[in-house]
Amino acid sequence: MELHPSESRMPALPNSDMTERLYYQNSFLYEFDAEVVDSASTDSRPAVILDRTAFYPTSGGQVFDTGWVRLREAIGTKLRVIEVIETDDGQILHVLENSASLAKGTLVHGQIDIERRRDHMQQHSGQHVLSAAFLRLFNLPTVSFHMGAESCSIDLDTKNLSAAQVESAEALANDVVMENRAVSIRFVTQAEARGLGLRKIPPVERDQLRLIEVNDFDLTACGGTHVASTGQIGSILLRKTEKTRQGWRVEFVCGKRAVLTARRDYAVLAEAGGLLSSHIWEIPQQIRKMQDESRSSRKEGERLMEELADLYATRLFAETAEHGGRKFIVRIFPDRDLRFIKLLAQRLTRQSMGVVAFLGAAIDQPALIFAQSAEQPFDMGALMKEILARLGGRGGGSKDMAQGGPAQTEGMEAALATLASRLREQPPK
């Protein structure tokens, strides 16, 4: 879990030798002029450092802006900015898609990807409002914030979180959105901040703090990009909640993402509703009905299988001739599985004395079951091993019952017939 600057550490305010961060004053500044002060590379990708920038670098939870830098001298040369990184010493690297020589002193015009910035402002500002809502309503502090490509999440420091609490926080957060409260930026000293009742004061040594205030609702230190008024957040939609090691994670989406997420959810529900021929609100009820039906048809299937095994047992017993006081029953079922022949073997050998059964199934995986009635003299486990040595495959078992998975069905029937006839002719003494 990444920590967001608003929840973990305070942004560096620019020193004179550092890039001026234009987004600190204005999140809606999408274009700007600047000068290249240095070139660099990161992970063997080219990057430039500018004297001033409106590009937001990844800082903990809030992800970077993308966009373009255009050379002011050479009209038409537009370089894609694919990532913006803040180094440990506070430098902002604009990573370029293509290698280009941007010498020190080159004059450039920067352009932020507006869609992406707007999305980030919505998610991020929504997070402020949501965190404040959980704190106001239930005294649940936010310990971290994560912004993903699809959804965002906050981690709340709490042992319990109910669905009702989630709904109430969502409702309050959306009220704040609809009230369209002003969101303002100001800079104060640490000492001044202490008297202001911030949601969170970051543990840093820097004297200047950048504060973000949602009028009469939330005041916190943060270095990110925010909307100018809460109405621009659009909407705040809470989704999954899950228990984590330290507390509870609440997933949410804001603004256009909330609409897109709801649109996608609806498409999935509509497809499911179509498959079930029912209204989307009746999908859970339909699924429960289907689960009940599938449970009862499984039970019915099992009952029928037992009935079939009984019938087969009676028939095979009746039509097999006796040799020396016992019946050798050999049968392969091309359209039955292991469960069936196992059941049949039990029926055959437990209901009648003097039965030796060699059964095979060929559906899915080929399978063999050898079984004999109590007090018969053969060793099913040993015979199974003998047959499998010929057919390939693995298996084994006890004296009265053995199971095997031959490598192939070919030769299975002949092998069992030969085995039965040998035992018929040469019973053990």
Nearer to Zn ion, 65 or 379 (CB): 65
- Residue number with the smallest Cβ distance to Zn ion: 222
- Shortest Å distance, C-beta 103 to Zn ion: 35
> What torsion, rounded to 10 degrees, do the Cα atoms 83, 227, 231, 197 define?
130
CB of 280 to Zn ion, least distance (A): 36
The CB-of-104 to Zn ion minimum distance in angstroms stands at 33
Q: How far is the CB of 5 from Zn ion (least distance, A)?
A: 7
Report the residue number, 95 or 129, with the smaller CB distance to Zn ion: 129
Scored b (16 or more CB within 10 A) or e, 117-137 reads: bbbbbbbbbbbbbbbbbbbee
Cβ closest to Zn ion, residue 224 vs residue 247: 224
Min dist CB 87 to Zn ion, Å, is 21
Judge contact between 224 and 59, C-beta under 8 A: yes
What backbone phi and psi angles, to 5 degrees, belong to 89? Answer: -95, 20
Strand pairing partners for 426? none
Rounded to whole angstroms, how far apart are CA atoms 423 and 96? Answer: 82
Nearer to Zn ion, 123 or 165 (CB): 123
Min dist. Cβ of residue 129 to Zn ion (A): 10
Sheet holding 208-214, edge to edge: 183-189, 208-214, 218-221
- The 8-class DSSP code of residue 23 comes to G
Smaller CB separation from Zn ion, 142 or 174: 142
The residues that touch Zn ion, with contacts defined as CB under 5 A, are: 6, 222, 224
Of 13 and 283, which has the nearer Cβ to Zn ion?
Answer: 13
Q: In sequence order, what are the residues at sequence separation of 6 or more whose Cβ sits closer than 8 angstroms to the Cβ of residue 89?
A: none
DSSP string, 355-404: EEEEEEE-SSS-EEEEEE-TT----HHHHHHHHHHHH-EEEEE-SSEEEE
H helix runs in 179-282, sequence order: 190-194, 255-276
Rounded (10°) CA dihedral 246, 251, 255, 260? 160
> Rounded to the nearest whole angstrom, what is the least distance from the CB of residue 53 to Zn ion in the complex?
18
Q: Three-state SS for 146?
A: strand
Q: With respect to Zn ion, which residue has the nearer C-beta, 79 or 222?
A: 222
Question: For 83-216, where are the alpha helices, taking DSSP H only?
Answer: 114-138, 163-178, 190-194
25 SS3 class: coil
Q: How near is the Cβ of 62 to Zn ion at its closest, in Å?
A: 7
Decide whether 151 or 349 has the Cβ nearer to Zn ion.
Answer: 151
Using the minimum distance from each CB to Zn ion, give the nearer residue, 61 or 397. Answer: 61
CB of 76 to Zn ion, least distance (A): 37
